[in-house]
Structure 1
């Protein structure tokens, strides 16, 4: 499990839940697009979008097409028939029915709106039955075109191909160095870049020249800026640093300058203009936003190599990479791709009046049926007679979770502090004396209470004192679910679930790499886990299985009861209800992020979240 320091973990958690500066342009956290149709063994290299359609190319001749409408099998991502199994590294075209893709062994393909055709490359030696050692088979790695319908593709050995609008032909190259990037500039100029600090320029007359770059960078990415300067990204191997190190270089007024930053970067793969700045992707899941010589690392929730950036017409973007990765910062990538008309629908949920506008983190039902919710700035509210009332604040710190033992209400949150409410006032019950946030609580009795949180924190109260339990992980643990003291689960990062057997905690992997935030079940053979990018998994007593939700929202909590059924909630007012064995979407009537949900024993369901939002469904409280 990745070892992440507490400040970084808390910053991620704040950004995920909307309390940090994630709303600033270019700085929102990224998440995977669900149900892409590519597997963990697939490398996705590049993509193209236009007119509401999306094409993504990758290894094994893969071309994925997304059209916002499902095929006969219900899939929205469709694998296209392609006449080669060669890896495809780049794609460009003036329209969805006129696309070109380039790849390994000089593969150059054209899509005419009906089918893909191999135009050149992939030549087989008739005698040996293998790829021939000819110039036409020189691997191609990048392609770009201009508004006039002309395009250029570059690859190994300095090869440059030019499309004049009718035919492809080779152009004389001033280098034999491997080229990895090409970009069209203003006035019919073109730039290309590659290994050993190689940067080429093509003037409007068609002459390629090599620019005098004193740096030895291996360039993989190239961006022509609005002011005519160049931004180049890549990396090279440093023996004294034991691996590749990323480099960002600016070419301006005839001078190359290596930009220096405090934090080392991995090899950079792609640069694209994005939200007033530059989006940069690289190896090991690294995402950066660059503006005014400032480099901000973005939350990618991934450690896979990211290969390219696909800009969308709405100003949003997709990032593609290793392990079938397609990611976005857009809350709904379908709307970012081509906003569909939304029909209004009636909602079974009602918004309740509450005495706070503070963000609410958690909600719980006590043994007597009383519901409590908690949130920022020490907010604790109680539901009585169908109305929410404000209780005294335990402190000024945020309260993330509550648990009513029947012999006292416990509240926990920031700085590892736990408070107990006796019905009149709060008292500090335990102080961890560490800057760790407690995120979830559960108890079976007043003599057995558990709490989990940042950096694998697990605490147990035995009726006399709180003690820390070894968890074996540095992952944040976001919540707790249990049948009893010997059957307990705590979800965390990258598909991690910790399982407690009454003595020890051990890993119980769900089979996804997305973060998991909530778990609920009505038996040990019927358990659900929810998380990032609409992740929903089911455990049948033997194994976990991923369930298709078609959601772009993050699912942040789940709860159920015999009288109410089961519900999951998440960002942008997302609500799912379990209907027999299928999860169906419900209209919540709210766009607020929903952070917690409680399905009560009486049959009422409450969801709480941003801006003090409290929603109720089928409540029997007479509100």
Structure 2
């Protein structure tokens, strides 16, 4: 089992110590038990944030989804699962999705006020088993008709391995964390996660399908997914691997290893550049839709986990030890949060304030003060 990616979402944000009762509960209970209201939710671990106009939507531990409107009040949404949520993505002011541990996918059609469950790890287990069984059966037929075809024999061996892997992965129950998601519109989207999982929907999440075909025989974790305007799709993950599809995920090119460092987040900038953020201060930039990448030197070696671009073009990257990088994508200054707790996401609140989320919860700070303190 690989551990680099999961440590970002458990050890770094302290979920294991913050939620001992959750980790001891039976897995099925976490999926069926609604998230509990907590007056301290805004101070607990938060993993992702998105601005919807003047509203902020944040997700984190214990199934918490927090909403902050223009008046500054923070409140909890109604969520049907009590487990770590890892990412959120809205396509407009009302329709959005969140993913998390145990393979859960949640949907909201009211701006995050309430959520319903569309998928969980039990469904993913079933999809993977059905696909693997079908592959074994298909390749056995082809191999019987051409017993000397070594490529078919190799493919059949791989299919048997995939079936064994799917069977073993299903035994503990819904234990496959999803780590990121991206929707092209209100109907089509993808979610990616641990052990090489990708699922895809074409109907807004009413149904999902398992996506095979990636060049990922070691089942490395997939940490981030990003769609491109030309219909392409990029998936980045453990070991610095980047997976690329030029046709909306139907076919995948061989994986490219951009770096030895695991990649945690893909970002698209307003000028068309793409960024890949990763372990140990890794920042890579592409100006050709992910065809080639160049390393961007940084003033620190902190792991980078999330980021955003402001209306004026400024780029903010959040990372390990409370580090926030502020720059133009080529040169950066460093702001250090006093608590030095990991920052996992950042968003503009308005033209004058930023919202930071991470293991210490939510912080809303004046942008001018942060820029004044840059090193």
Taking structure 1 as the reference length, the TM-score comes to 0.32
Classify 1:499/1:15 alpha carbon distance in 2 versus 1 (closer, same or farther; 3 Å).
same
Q: Deviation of residue 496 (structure 1)?
A: 0.6
Does residue 364 (structure 1) correspond to residue 182 (structure 2)? The answer is yes
CA RMSD of aligned residues (A): 3.6
Question: What residue number does 2:226 align with?
Answer: 403
Question: 1: CA distance between counterparts of 2:292 and 2:234?
Answer: 14
Contact 2:10–2:16 under 8 Å retained in 1? no
Question: 2: CA distance between counterparts of 1:373 and 1:451?
Answer: 18
Classify 1:346/1:433 alpha carbon distance in 2 versus 1 (closer, same or farther; 3 Å).
closer
Q: Deviation of residue 475 (structure 1)?
A: 1.1
Q: Deviation of residue 414 (structure 1)?
A: 0.7
Which SS does the other structure have where 1:426 is aligned? Answer: coil
Contact 2:348–2:354 under 8 Å retained in 1? yes
Q: Deviation of residue 528 (structure 1)?
A: 0.9
Contact 2:4–2:238 under 8 Å retained in 1? no
Does residue 373 (structure 1) correspond to residue 176 (structure 2)? The answer is no
Matches within 5 A, 1:396-435: 396-407=219-230, 408-421=232-245, 422-423=247-248, 424-428=250-254, 430-434=256-260
Question: What residue number does 1:173 align with?
Answer: none
Q: Deviation of residue 517 (structure 1)?
A: 0.9
Does residue 468 (structure 1) correspond to residue 234 (structure 2)? The answer is no
Question: What residue number does 2:211 align with?
Answer: 391
Classify 1:447/1:29 alpha carbon distance in 2 versus 1 (closer, same or farther; 3 Å).
same
Which SS does the other structure have where 1:415 is aligned? Answer: helix
Find the partner of 2:325 among 478, 498, 507: 498
* Partner deviation per Cα, 1:407-454 (whole Å, 9 max, x = no partner): 2010000110111112321113632241x1100111136941101010
Classify 1:16/1:458 alpha carbon distance in 2 versus 1 (closer, same or farther; 3 Å).
closer
Question: 2: CA distance between counterparts of 1:365 and 1:388?
Answer: 13
Question: 2: CA distance between counterparts of 1:527 and 1:482?
Answer: 11
Classify 1:346/1:476 alpha carbon distance in 2 versus 1 (closer, same or farther; 3 Å).
closer
Q: Deviation of residue 403 (structure 1)?
A: 0.7
Q: Which has the higher helix share?
A: 2
Matches within 5 A, 1:191-270: none
Q: Deviation of residue 483 (structure 1)?
A: 3.3
Question: 2: CA distance between counterparts of 1:11 and 1:488?
Answer: 29
Q: Which has the higher strand share?
A: 1
Which SS does the other structure have where 1:543 is aligned? Answer: helix
Which SS does the other structure have where 1:508 is aligned? Answer: strand
Which SS does the other structure have where 1:494 is aligned? Answer: helix
Classify 1:428/1:30 alpha carbon distance in 2 versus 1 (closer, same or farther; 3 Å).
same
Question: 2: CA distance between counterparts of 1:30 and 1:525?
Answer: 35
Classify 1:369/1:504 alpha carbon distance in 2 versus 1 (closer, same or farther; 3 Å).
farther
Taking structure 2 as the reference length, the TM-score comes to 0.51
Over alpha carbons, which structure has the higher Rg? Answer: 1
Contact 1:444–1:485 under 8 Å retained in 2? no
Question: What residue number does 1:525 align with?
Answer: 352
Classify 1:19/1:29 alpha carbon distance in 2 versus 1 (closer, same or farther; 3 Å).
closer
Q: Deviation of residue 460 (structure 1)?
A: 0.5
Which SS does the other structure have where 1:480 is aligned? Answer: strand
Aligned residues: 219
Contact 1:405–1:445 under 8 Å retained in 2? no
Provide structure 2 residue ranges, at least 5 long, that are not aligned to the other structure: 19-38, 41-61, 63-77, 81-113, 125-173, 371-375
Find the partner of 1:454 among 260, 264, 279: 279
